[in-house]
Structure 1
Amino acid sequence: MQIDMPTRADIERLAAARDPLSISIYLPTSQVPAHDEENRLRARALFEQAIERVGELTDKRTLQALKDDLYTLLDDREFWDCCTSR
């Protein structure tokens, strides 16, 4: 099993971020191809939570851009193949 742990530099960069619309989403993923849909469903649920929270802080246009980016990521095979490191 491969786990991409954040480096010290990653943590420092995240800690220094001060944009009120910054979000970080962490989720476990399975390398088993049969679990691909489960990985994306788990991500979708976390994305929806983030979208709801950001929606309380921003305008509809910015929120829609975030939704578009996150939902595009759900369909990005290359991203998910990288995340599950097959």
Structure 2
Amino acid sequence: MAELSPEEIQLRANQVTDEVSILRSCVGLEQLPSKIMVSFKEQLNRIEEGMDQINKDVREAEKTLTELNKCCGLCVCPCNRLVKLAGWTGS
């Protein structure tokens, strides 16, 4: 092998450094999709927890509205009952 000048040695060292840097970047890019999927799964879990809380709140609100429809707290007002029966078609 012929002797290399200091400039050629420095040039080759820079090339090797660049190649190593590119390879490290590629390794990081290979792991990126799995990290993104984990992040999306965590985000989806938080969204589902929020939806569960919303459903719970809606059920509680429906219960409260049903209680408000009772005239004395024990029975449903007759006027509310007539509205429901008007929609009934019978068989």
Do these two structures clear the TM 0.5 threshold for a shared fold by scoring above it? no
Higher Cα Rg, which structure: 2
Give the number of the structure with larger relative contact order, counting CA–CA contacts within 8 Å between residues 6 or more apart: 1
Q: What TM-score do the two structures reach when normalised by structure 2?
A: 0.28
